[in-house]
A and B are shown apart, each in its own frame.
Chain A
Amino acid sequence: MKQITTPTLTPRRAGRLRALALIPLALVLLTAPASAMHIAEGMLPKPWAFGWMAVCLPFIVAGFLSIKKKVAASPRAKVLLAMCGAFAFVLSALKIASFNGSCSHPTGVGLGAILFGPTATTVLGLIVLLFQALLLAHGGITTLGANVFSMAIAGPFVSWGVYLLLKKLGAKPAVSVFCAAALGDLVTYVVTSFQLGVVYGNYVEYLSIFAVTQIPLAIAEGLLTVVVFNVLEKYSKAELQELSVL
């Protein structure tokens, strides 16, 4: 990288080009939320791609063992877990409106972590992300490790931790669900921008794009999760208690 300290544009010419510059910037801001959460196939250089896979491996093994234990205890858990995985896939295909007019989809990270615990969410997340890569080209095979880390490990563990902490502190259920889901969503994006920023050296740029688009989305996801929880609590206490068997 060459560092030569001679500006090539005078401020006047730059002023004329300012209007031009707004086009790509607007493009970035408008399209980023729609697909920003998955890192596309081939976007990461090989050391990072395989490095993230290695980081994910222990979490996946732990999650797999915990699922194995649950399935051995009650065979029905397998079918229910599979339903939950499919639910996560369908949830991520739903469009969610945001305050600033942009549109994205919920990550379902907080909901999954609170309902099934973070370790089971990791394994289900791995399968769902693989299907999204193969069927919808959201994400990819070589970037699977990075995507699993941001969406199926970092997000769920933060959500779960926040939920447990607030519950222990005696916060209202709605407040703790909201905080867990919104923070889980936000952490997912921060980790994704970190994963891209550490490779291409511009954290600030990715984080500022995310700050504009993702903070409202995180709030929307938090509200959405609270609504889901209220309905579930009202109509299906028995099912929720059954789920804690999982």
Chain B
Amino acid sequence: MGTDRCAYLSRLRLVDPIPKLWFSLTALLVCVFAESVAVGLFTLAVLSGLNVALGGQRVRDVVHFLKVPLAFLVVGCLTILIRPIGEAEALWALRLFGRFRWGITAYYLRLALLVLCKALGAISAMYFLSMNTPITDLTMALERLHVPKLLVELMELIYRFIFLLSGEAGRIRVAQESRLGYQNFRQSIRSLGELASAVFLRSLHRGNRVYAALESRGYTGSLTTLPGQYAPGAWFYPMAAGVAACQILIFFAERSVLP
């Protein structure tokens, strides 16, 4: 599901997740705080590059996952770009229905470009984390970072159950579709409602069964597991500092070039 498969195949999989977490978060936060086109593009290039070079991800996969949020980003930026502009000076404009003047102004063109580049940089930083760290490692790292144990346990259980339930929902969906269950609107609302309620009932039953299984094995209210054996990852910290330094340098360079 999603980036999960990549995370298990990553070369960095066995590296301690906490340094990876801090590395990605630093790059992400500096990118978001800089609010600059150049820093965004730099973060996009460097983090995606490291994803391929260090994580051993295929370029095709990295590009594929970058394309996923692109649809939303393009829509978001188009709504920033093309807007009612009154009688302001425009690069391009037209009158909708002969009355409302819509168009693109230089200011909003720059803003849309900024948002697009910043978001792409931030997304690539997030992908560096999620494509190289399995969720179970991440939740264990959160526990080591003193996130409340109950929350971490809920995350672990939810993560496990997502795969159970989505498999179940997928099979029901195929069965319904092969019986023409989604032919028209009325039918598809009915089928989807039945699917959702069936999955819900089964998830309740499964929950009860999981609880019974746990209790028969001496469950006392918390699931404790041993942490994995990780390769040391302290070398991520100097790298984080280096990337952040480059980002800040580019930020000031852009400021001095552009007025």
Contacts and interface: CB of A to CB of B under 8 A. Distances in A.
Interface of A: 1-9, 11, 14-15, 17-18, 21, 24-25, 27-28, 31-32, 34-36, 38-43, 45-46, 49, 64, 67-68, 71, 75-76, 78-87, 89-91, 93-94, 96-97, 99, 106, 111, 123-124, 127-128, 130-131, 133-138, 140-142, 196, 200, 202, 204-206, 209, 220, 223-228, 230-232, 235-236, 239, 242-243
27 contacts: A1-B88, A5-B88, A8-B90, A17-B92, A35-B69, A36-B72, A41-B28, A42-B118, A71-B150, A75-B221, A76-B207, A80-B207, A83-B157, A83-B207, A86-B165, A91-B196, A93-B169, A134-B129, A135-B3, A135-B130, A137-B69, A137-B123, A140-B123, A204-B84, A227-B197, A231-B193, A236-B204
A87 B69 contact: no
Nearest to B2: A135
Interface of B: 1-4, 25, 28-29, 31-33, 35, 40, 65, 68-69, 71-76, 78-80, 82-84, 86-90, 92-96, 98, 101-103, 105, 107, 111, 115, 118-123, 126-127, 129-130, 135, 138, 148, 150-151, 153-155, 157-162, 164-166, 169, 173, 182, 185, 188-190, 192-201, 203-204, 206-208, 210-211, 214, 219-221
| Secondary structure class of chain B's binding surface, majority of residues | helix
Contacts of A137: 2-3, 65, 68-69, 123, 126-127
Contacts of A130: 155
Nearest to A35: B72
Nearest to B189: A223
Contact of B189 (A67, A68, A224): A224
